[in-house]
Structure 1
Amino acid sequence: MMTPRWRSAVERCLRYLYREAQQLGDPALTASLQAALEAIRRPPPP
């Protein structure tokens, strides 16, 4: 289980990588990172 602090750190890293992928123009990587960001933003299961 991820602590809120870890979750926040992972989200920051994913956002950075997402921006880099957009600048590179890689649609597959951008879509992958977008899905990862959506998953990390969902509340953890009980």
Structure 2
Amino acid sequence: MPVIESALYWHARVHKDPLIQWFKDYFLSITDSLRLSRSLRN
């Protein structure tokens, strides 16, 4: 499962790098609002 391995590697990188942590939070907030608007539309 290379996807899971890269996800674990990503998490390890995130916890070391504050900029990546910020970017991940930013990206998650975007996906959350997209998911919210999509559910409101349906």
What is the TM-score of this pair, normalised by structure 1?
A: 0.50
Partner of 1:8: 22
CA deviation profile, 1:1-46 (whole Å, cap 9, x unmatched)? 32100000011000000000000008xxxxxxxxxxxxxxxxxxxx
Q: Counting helix residues as a fraction of each chain, which structure ranks higher?
A: 2
Aligned residues: CA RMSD: 1.6
Partner of 1:19: 33
Amino acid corresponding to residue 14 of structure 1 in structure 2: L
Q: Which runs of 4+ in 1 moved over 2 A?
A: none
Aligned residues: 26
Identity between Structure 1 and Structure 2 (%): 8
Q: Which runs of 5+ in 2 are unaligned?
A: 1-11
